[in-house]
Amino acid sequence: MRLQDKVAVVTGAASGIGKEIAATYFREGAKVVIADLNQEGADATAKEFDPTGKRALGVAMDVTDEAQVDAGMAKAVSAFGGIDILVSNAGIQIVDPLDKFDFGKWKKLLAIHLDGAFLTTRAALREMYKQGRGGSIIYMGSVHSKEASPLKAPYVTAKHGLIGLAKVVAKEGAAHGVRANVICPGFVRTPLVEKQIPEQAKELGISEEDVVKKIMLKNTVDGEFTTVQDVAETALFFAAFPSNALTGQSVVVSHGWFMQ
Ligand code: NAD
């Protein structure tokens, strides 16, 4: 039990990577808050983990909405007595070439990834500083925090931005024992990626099989997708890490696609 009695808020935890991180934290003894735009999914996930509701809570939260973020974080504090871990994970993908990219879609993507990270961070830091027991803030970056791909301009921009935010949190948070890290996964077969396969096939004029083999997994060492478990184990490692030694660092979890 590496997170016994810790309180963790995971955004976008009704699905995919966030759900697996919340499940892993729950298994390790944490009280988990499943914060998601999809309230039904958040409630169902919390129930799935803990039907008694004592250690898992679903919270409706649009991470781009200041009032909803502050209210959701306040709910977490009043239900479980504080916040020790924030995983800012909620995200979407929109693919299009730059010369055709719709401005509204650009702004929407940046808002979810960057405004969402800022708003949840600010609310978590306020609580962590007040509590005086430190904390861990983890951002879901991507190989696209380090590398670019065509058709993904706002995503690559936002994911690079999260590395900068994490470094500032590491510097400002240190005096309060708050650490910050970024996890940078390769392709993980979640609904977010399932949606991209036909979209990219259409955009690039190739088959869906080729999108997987020749684009998504082309540069991995084993031709395999990164799994939600690969990412959740890394999120556990950072959340449970006992010192400031790794603060400000990002780690790529990509089956060798991108090596630093
Ligand atoms: P997913 O689509 O399975 O889950 C995303 C969750 O975020 C959903 O439950 C959705 O309801 C929620 N969400 C979307 N907009 C939201 C908002 N405004 N407020 C609150 N919640 C919102 O996706 P996933 O693949 O699990 O992605 C999770 C994170 O991992 C994202 O940040 C994504 O960019 C990142 N990531 C994914 C992959 C991958 O290959 N799947 C790779 C690298 C990074």
**pLDDT tens digits, one per residue of 102-140:** 999 999 999 999 999 999 999 999 999 999 999 999 999
Question: What integer pLDDT is reported at residue 183 of this predicted model?
Answer: 99
**Ligand 1 center from residue 15 Cα (angstroms):** 7
Judge if 208 and 237 occupy the same domain: no
Maximum Cα interatomic distance, the chain, rounded to a whole number of Å: 55
Judge if 82 and 178 occupy the same domain: yes
Residues for the chain: how many in total? 260
Does some domain include residue 139? yes
Does some domain include residue 178? yes
Mean pLDDT of the chain: 97
Written as six digits, the tokens of 47 are 């129930």
Judge if 219 and 171 occupy the same domain: no
Judge if 29 and 157 occupy the same domain: yes
Q: Which domain range does residue 220 map to?
A: 189-225
Question: Residue range 143-162: average pLDDT?
Answer: 97
d(CA 127, CA 9) in angstroms, rounded, equals 12
Does some domain include residue 1? no
Does some domain include residue 75? yes
The neighbour count for residue 145, using CB atoms within 10 Å, is 25
DSSP reduced 3-state for 252: strand
Which residue puts its alpha carbon closest to atom 10 of ligand 1? 12
> Is 129 a catalytic site residue?
no
Judge if 94 and 147 occupy the same domain: yes
Judge if 116 and 218 occupy the same domain: no
Residue 41 has pLDDT above 90, yes or no: yes
Helix axes 228-240, 16-27, angle to 10 degrees: 50
Domains of the chain: total: 2
With a pLDDT cut of 70, the percent of the chain lying above it is 100
Does some domain include residue 61? yes
d(CA 190, CA 229) in angstroms, rounded, equals 12
Does some domain include residue 242? yes
**Ligand 1 center from residue 237 Cα (angstroms):** 20
Residue 148 has pLDDT above 90, yes or no: yes
Helix (H) or strand (E) holding 189: none
**pLDDT tens digits, one per residue of 44-68:** 999 999 999 999 999 999 999 999 9
Count of CA atoms in the C-beta half-sphere (13 A) of 10: 32
Please list the residues that pair with 21 across neighbouring strands.
none
- Kindly report whether the global pTM for this prediction surpasses the value 0.95: yes
Establish whether residue 140 lines the binding site of ligand 1, counting it when its CB lies within 6 angstroms of any ligand atom: yes
Judge if 102 and 209 occupy the same domain: no
Question: What integer pLDDT is reported at residue 260 of this predicted model?
Answer: 84
Question: Residue range 88-101: average pLDDT?
Answer: 97
Residue 91 has pLDDT above 90, yes or no: yes
**pLDDT tens digits, one per residue of 175-210:** 999 999 999 999 999 999 999 999 989 989 999 999
Establish whether residue 11 lines the binding site of ligand 1, counting it when its CB lies within 6 angstroms of any ligand atom: yes
Judge if 94 and 150 occupy the same domain: yes
Establish whether residue 234 lines the binding site of ligand 1, counting it when its CB lies within 6 angstroms of any ligand atom: no
User: Which ligand 1 atom is nearest residue 111's CA?
Assistant: 18
